[in-house]
A = this chain, B = another copy of it.
Amino acid sequence: MGTETVKARRKPRADSIRNRELLLEAAAHVFSAGGPQASLDAVARQAGVGIGTLYRHFPTREDLFEAVYRHEVDHLGELAEELARDPDPVEALRKWLHANVRLVATKKGMIEAFQLVAHGSTELKAYSFERLTNAIGLLLHRGVAEGKLRADIAPEDLLRTLVGIFYSQGTADWQPTALRLVDIFVDGLRKR
């Protein structure tokens, strides 16, 4: 009795971690261009790894979708932390929102993939919502503290507005409009 049940686990191999990263970047690229039904062989090729490696990391297409999505959300979160050190808080907020527009524009094919996977995982939705809300909160907070932004808007509201701007837009050539709407909105947030 009382045998060692906790296996002393090795730390993950460096190549494994690296390949996972390569795959996520390649997948974002390929799905952006080809939509959700793009070839997984193409993803592996783009990443420069074997197809077996792809399947080991992401057994199903949905697993890959989900991981890519998380990855992108995390990127936005990190970008917010970076921009939080920008000297001009209003400009920082504007930049971050623009990054969102650019992301959605570039990754149009990916969005469809997300809609497919989002149906399943509410956990994923909750995670994204929280992560993005925090990112916005970070940027808003500084602006308010420095007296440059109005204090009466919650991060959730801003996020929902952003989503609304994306959602209401049709397919073609919506990007300039979305950027304009974002600018107008940010301008409205400015404290006079």
Q: Which chain A residues have a beta carbon within 8 Å of chain B's beta carbons?
A: 37, 119, 171
Contact = CB atoms under 8 A, between A and B. Distances in A.
Contacts of A37: 37
A109 to B, nearest CB: 12
A119 B37 CA distance: 16
Nearest to A61: B37
A163 B56 CA distance: 41
2 contacts: A37-B37, A119-B171
A117 to B, nearest CB: 12
Contacts of A119: 171
Nearest to A37: B37
Contacts of A171: 119
A106 B119 CA distance: 18
A77 to B, nearest CB: 28
A70 to B, nearest CB: 21
A119 B115 CA distance: 13
A171 B119 CA distance: 9
List the 2 closest A-B pairs by CB distance, nearest first. A37-B37, A119-B171
A171 B122 CA distance: 12
A157 to B, nearest CB: 23
